[in-house]
């Protein structure tokens, strides 16, 4: 294990911390681990993988086995991108994928990530058969049968149960590397919700909302749905002869942190206006490659730099179905009133809650908003926290950099159950992060 001292941060560029980074190379390295937190590719937005010592896992990226029925065994530092590059041309894809492929298997498990298909297929945990976890004392095998409590606590456990050394995952069989995509433009919130609900059968769905629209246009947006194309679907097209092609898309890079004046409410307004106007008709249907469908943001590498050197936060919450319409409307009204403009406002529909203690999804709607850090923002987000709590919702720890301990302890996570598991396996003596200290976890 080699080490480096550096100032590190995750995707939101906030907070930044001086850290001793220990780069994990093989299983023997566990003997050198003291108080620390595991870190993958740093694609969580806040401080969940930041601490004075981090165990950097992304160079520990190996495939250990693959069986004919699509069960992949790999180390915790392997990225989703590496899995797609190797397996999609062989007819296998990720059963659940977040909106970036630059995430490690360890990070996907620790956050229990969701994709555009939570309403149909659940979270990442559903496809994890087992993993090996270093809990500070030894490497333990965890599955639904063995050490079940530790297995479940690790999904959404934000690295606090230990280090995921390796995992067995069931991949999804696909016939082609194309998605049949449909886009519908909704002129207000009511229309958008009804489009969502009438598309529940579609495997993938996601909506972008113009969060600066007001009055009758409040909540206007574009719903994008899709499902994997079969070979038959490609018949008669130029894609038919090579249905499992690996598409590598060009990446544009943001070379510097943008100065403050570039990202102002006028530029966000313009972006939202252009995005909303983009579909040339009310509905657009057609074939789409994996990358633009699942990972549109990966097209611009280091896009987080547009928020400047002070950084930004992503505010993502879920509201249970019964109160979601009302609470979302109130939150959107508050955002457009206060003018805290968000480039990206992404709405998804969740299915049933996953097993476990700190998993984020629950049946209802989730909205993710990006906010540049400016004076007054954190007070404003505190106000939104209260609306989310009152509506029976909760915030996503993978995106969090600022939630208060009191908000966290009032939210409907099974915090006591989680802490009992940490105590039972002594994980709390070894693993801590800036986030766990802030939230008293």
Q: Residues in the site for ligand FAD, rule: CB under 6 A?
A: 10-11, 37-44, 48-49, 57, 76, 98-100, 103-104, 106-107, 110-111, 113-115, 158-159, 163-164, 297, 398
What is the spatial distance between Cα 187 and Cα 217, in angstroms, rounded to a whole number? 6
Whichever of 318 and 381 has its CB closer to ligand FAD, that residue is 318
232 SS3 class = helix
Question: CB neighbours (10 Å) of residue 414?
Answer: 15
Structure tokens belonging to residue 330:
């109130």
Whichever of 73 and 233 has its CB closer to ligand FAD, that residue is 73
- DSSP for residue 36: B
What is the spatial distance between Cα 409 and Cα 366, in angstroms, rounded to a whole number? 20
Rounded least distance, CB 40 to ligand FAD, Å:
2
Whichever of 50 and 341 has its CB closer to ligand FAD, that residue is 50
Whichever of 158 and 387 has its CB closer to ligand FAD, that residue is 158
Question: CB neighbours (10 Å) of residue 136?
Answer: 20
Whichever of 115 and 308 has its CB closer to ligand FAD, that residue is 115
Rounded least distance, CB 83 to ligand FAD, Å:
13
Residue among 105, 292, 68 nearest 94 (CA): 105
Whichever of 87 and 102 has its CB closer to ligand FAD, that residue is 102
Question: CB neighbours (10 Å) of residue 374?
Answer: 14
Rounded least distance, CB 1 to ligand FAD, Å:
14
Whichever of 44 and 130 has its CB closer to ligand FAD, that residue is 44
Rounded least distance, CB 172 to ligand FAD, Å:
16
What is the spatial distance between Cα 253 and Cα 271, in angstroms, rounded to a whole number? 19
Structure tokens belonging to residue 180:
């049949």
* Strand ranges inside 210-264, DSSP E: 221-228, 252-253
Rounded least distance, CB 254 to ligand FAD, Å:
13
Task: Give Cα separations from 257 to 299, 302, 315, 420 (angstroms).
Answer: 17, 9, 21, 43
Whichever of 110 and 186 has its CB closer to ligand FAD, that residue is 110
Question: 22 forms bridges with which residues in the sheet?
Answer: 3, 55
Q: Do residues 317 and 366 touch, judged by C-beta distance below 8 A?
A: yes
Whose tokens are 């004046």? That residue is: 261
Whichever of 113 and 218 has its CB closer to ligand FAD, that residue is 113
Rounded least distance, CB 195 to ligand FAD, Å:
20
Whichever of 114 and 402 has its CB closer to ligand FAD, that residue is 114
Structure tokens belonging to residue 32:
């050198």
Whichever of 40 and 243 has its CB closer to ligand FAD, that residue is 40
Rounded least distance, CB 277 to ligand FAD, Å:
24
Rounded least distance, CB 106 to ligand FAD, Å:
2
Rounded least distance, CB 57 to ligand FAD, Å:
4
Rounded least distance, CB 183 to ligand FAD, Å:
18
Q: Do residues 75 and 62 touch, judged by C-beta distance below 8 A?
A: yes
Whose tokens are 């206007």? That residue is: 220
Measured over the CA atoms of residue 16, residue 20, residue 22 and residue 28, the dihedral's sign is: negative
Q: For residue 15, with 0-12 CB atoms within 10 Å meaning exposed, 13-18 middle and 19 or more buried, which class applies?
A: middle
Question: CB neighbours (10 Å) of residue 240?
Answer: 13
Structure tokens belonging to residue 366:
């989730």
What is the spatial distance between Cα 357 and Cα 143, in angstroms, rounded to a whole number? 15
Rounded least distance, CB 422 to ligand FAD, Å:
13
Question: CB neighbours (10 Å) of residue 16?
Answer: 14
């Amino acid at each position: 294990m080699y080490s480096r001292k550096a100032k590190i941060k995750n995707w939101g560029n906030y907070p930044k911390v001086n850290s001793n980074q220990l780069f994990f190379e093989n299983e023997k390295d566990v003997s050198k681990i003291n108080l620390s937190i595991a870190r993958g590719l740093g694609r969580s937005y806040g401080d969940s993988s930041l601490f004075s010592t981090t165990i950097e896992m992304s160079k520990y990226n190996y495939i250990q086995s693959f069986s004919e029925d699509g069960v992949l065994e790999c180390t915790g530092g392997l990225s989703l991108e590496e899995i797609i590059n190797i397996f999609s041309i062989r007819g296998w894809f990720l059963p659940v994928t977040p909106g970036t492929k630059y995430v490690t298997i360890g990070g996907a498990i620790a956050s229990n990530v969701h994709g555009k298909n939570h309403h149909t297929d659940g979270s990442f945990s559903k496809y994890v058969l087992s993993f090996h976890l270093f809990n500070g004392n030894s490497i333990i095998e965890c599955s639904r049968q063995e050490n079940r409590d530790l297995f479940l606590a690790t999904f959404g456990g934000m690295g606090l149960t230990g280090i995921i050394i390796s995992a067995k995952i069931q991949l999804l069989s696909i016939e082609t590397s194309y998605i049949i995509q449909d886009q519908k433009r909704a002129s207000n919130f009511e229309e958008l919700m009804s489009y969502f609900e009438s598309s529940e059968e579609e495997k993938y769905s996601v909506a972008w909302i113009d969060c600066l629209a007001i009055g009758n246009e409040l909540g206007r947006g574009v719903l994008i749905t899709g499902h994997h194309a079969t070979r038959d679907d490609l018949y008669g097209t130029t894609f038919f002869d090579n249905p499992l092609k690996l598409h590598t898309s060009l990446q544009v890079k943001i070379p510097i942190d943008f100065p403050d004046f570039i990202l102002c409410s006028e530029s966000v307004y313009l972006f939202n206006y252009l995005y909303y106007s983009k579909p040339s008709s009310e509905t657009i249907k057609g074939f789409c490659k994996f990358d633009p469908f699942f990972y549109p943001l990966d097209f611009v590498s280091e896009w987080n730099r547009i928020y400047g050197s002070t950084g930004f936060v992503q505010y993502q919450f879920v509201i249970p179905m019964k109160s979601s319409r009302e609470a979302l409307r109130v939150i959107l009204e508050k955002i457009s009133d206060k003018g805290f403009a968000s480039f990206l406002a992404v709405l998804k529909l969740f299915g049933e809650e996953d097993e476990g203690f700190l998993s984020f999804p629950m049946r209802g709607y989730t909205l993710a908003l990006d906010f540049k850090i400016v004076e007054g923002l954190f007070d404003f987000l505190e106000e939104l926290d209260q609306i989310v709590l009152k509506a029976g919702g909760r915030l996503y720890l993978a995106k969090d950099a600022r939630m208060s301990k009191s908000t966290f302890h009032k939210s409907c996570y099974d915090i006591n159950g989680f802490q009992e598991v940490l105590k039972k396996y002594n994980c709390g003596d070894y693993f801590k992060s800036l986030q766990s200290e802030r939230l008293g976890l």
